[in-house]
Chain A
């Protein structure tokens, strides 16, 4: 819709600043601010959480890029073809970022599960802002639609503008769902009966959202499997959702067996 936010001119050197990049910066800032506020409320070590978050962001970007590279390479049976279509995938970044956050939290003296719990609702908020960036950039567009709220990407730089058809505003659908999820996790007491329950519940709920919304997407670049009947993101969503449900079931049983198990700090 508006892929180029502005053109930066500096001593005669001009560079376009993309809306996606700007929204990504805003998303990271808002997500980090909300997470650090939750860390303060939980009376955890804010400095350690700052370090863990920075490490998680770095690991998340790397894994997001590598996931896209892997999917594109497998899709085209060529590593060079994968490099020719680089990008970042949310699921790759989320999985890598979560593992990075847990790992760095452990290194810096925080409980990994508590750190992951504390990352809510910052994560869905940041993700929602990032999806608005997708909408502005014209990527992650929806399938052709004749609904009244369908949008037409008109900027030639937007991938969704080729061809210019009325499409589902898919990034906005997901941004709305993510904001609902963020609202669900605003209260630190909700889903906090044992460490990791908040994170596990969020992963399962997001997987459900992604499974339901994915058929409305229209970009084939994200990787399609089984002759286009399902996407790579749906497969990952199903796997992570099942893993989250398994973790919740296992952790709940473990918590019920040990009555002395400490209650998770309320974030």
Chain B
């Protein structure tokens, strides 16, 4: 039981790191951010059970204590990531993610905020900077029509093989706003 708990602590650490890095990606970020905390809590529960079992049997409790300690250490960053990156992802995900048309993660009914494959910035009109950049990038090539939004989207110009590539026209959005304290 203690070994499984230690394994859960390692998994929780891994999920925390992945949740931290995948914050801008809808669904993935929230799953890993909150999943890490849940796994760490499960690890603490198992570690506690291992402590209790070792004590009742008169066995050494070192492994169980290490398991509890590791899971507590995993829970702290997991909760921090969940309450910043995870909440951020779930509520105000403005990640500039371009997914293939028709991709559906299958979470809940259509129209749920934060759970659509193109939630966030795509639902809003493009900022001025992005509009300027798209205008510059669209000059060499012809604009293509985005069937999902009905907006004119730039098509990157094709460069000759071996030739210089066109400058990236990806808009740089500001970081997502932090939800300032969800407590009530």
A88 touches B184 (CB 8 A): yes
Kindly provide the distance from the CB of B22 to the nearest chain A CB, expressed in whole angstroms: 10
Given the known interface contacts A50-B44, A157-B178, the answer about A17 and B21 at a Cβ–Cβ threshold of 8 Å is no
The residue that A54 contacts in the complex, of B44, B87, B91, with Cβ under 8 A, is B44
| B166-184 contact mask (Cβ, 8 Å, vs A): 1 or 0 | 0000000001011111111
Q: Which residue of A lies closest to B40 (CB)?
A: A54
Residues of A contacting B87 in the complex (Cβ-Cβ under 8 angstroms): 86
- For chain B, which range describes its interface: under 10, 10 to 19, 20 to 34, or 35 or more residues? 35 or more
Residue A265 CB within 8 A of the other chain: no
The residue that B48 contacts in the complex, of A50, A83, A90, with Cβ under 8 A, is A50
Residue B84 CB within 8 A of the other chain: yes
Residue B111 CB within 8 A of the other chain: yes
Q: Which residue of B lies closest to A49 (CB)?
A: B48
Residue A143 CB within 8 A of the other chain: no
| B62-88 contact mask (Cβ, 8 Å, vs A): 1 or 0 | 001000100010001001111111010
Residue A133 CB within 8 A of the other chain: yes
Task: Please measure, in the bound complex, the distance between the C-alpha atom of A264 and the C-alpha atom of B179, giving whole angstroms.
Answer: 43
Residues of B contacting A57 in the complex (Cβ-Cβ under 8 angstroms): 41
Q: Which residue of A lies closest to B17 (CB)?
A: A10
Q: Which residue of B lies closest to A219 (CB)?
A: B184
Task: Given contacts A15-B81, A50-B45, A54-B48, list 9 more A-B pairs with CB under 8 A.
Answer: A14-B175, A20-B183, A45-B55, A47-B48, A47-B52, A47-B54, A68-B184, A139-B180, A139-B182
Residues of A contacting B178 in the complex (Cβ-Cβ under 8 angstroms): 3-4, 16, 18, 157
Q: Is the interface of B mostly helix, strand, loop or mixed?
A: helix
Residue A200 CB within 8 A of the other chain: no
Task: Please measure, in the bound complex, the distance between the C-alpha atom of A183 and the C-alpha atom of B87, giving whole angstroms.
Answer: 34
Residues of B contacting A20 in the complex (Cβ-Cβ under 8 angstroms): 83, 180-183
List of 9 A-B pairs having minimum Cβ-Cβ separation, nearest first: A137-B181, A47-B52, A50-B48, A47-B51, A51-B48, A21-B83, A139-B181, A20-B181, A54-B44
Residues of A contacting B180 in the complex (Cβ-Cβ under 8 angstroms): 3, 18, 20, 137-139, 155, 157-159
Kindly provide the distance from the CB of A91 to the nearest chain B CB, expressed in whole angstroms: 9
Residue B113 CB within 8 A of the other chain: yes
Kindly provide the distance from the CB of B72 to the nearest chain A CB, expressed in whole angstroms: 8
B84 touches A87 (CB 8 A): no
Residue A29 CB within 8 A of the other chain: yes
Task: Please measure, in the bound complex, the distance between the C-alpha atom of A157 and the C-alpha atom of B175, giving whole angstroms.
Answer: 13
Residues of B contacting A80 in the complex (Cβ-Cβ under 8 angstroms): 111-113
A47 touches B181 (CB 8 A): no
B41 touches A15 (CB 8 A): no
Residues of B contacting A130 in the complex (Cβ-Cβ under 8 angstroms): 183
Kindly provide the distance from the CB of B177 to the nearest chain A CB, expressed in whole angstroms: 7
Residue B50 CB within 8 A of the other chain: yes
A83 touches B183 (CB 8 A): no
B184 touches A24 (CB 8 A): no
B177 touches A21 (CB 8 A): no
Task: Please measure, in the bound complex, the distance between the C-alpha atom of A28 and the C-alpha atom of B78, giving whole angstroms.
Answer: 13
B181 touches A3 (CB 8 A): yes
The residue that A58 contacts in the complex, of B38, B55, B179, with Cβ under 8 A, is B38
Residues of B contacting A49 in the complex (Cβ-Cβ under 8 angstroms): 48
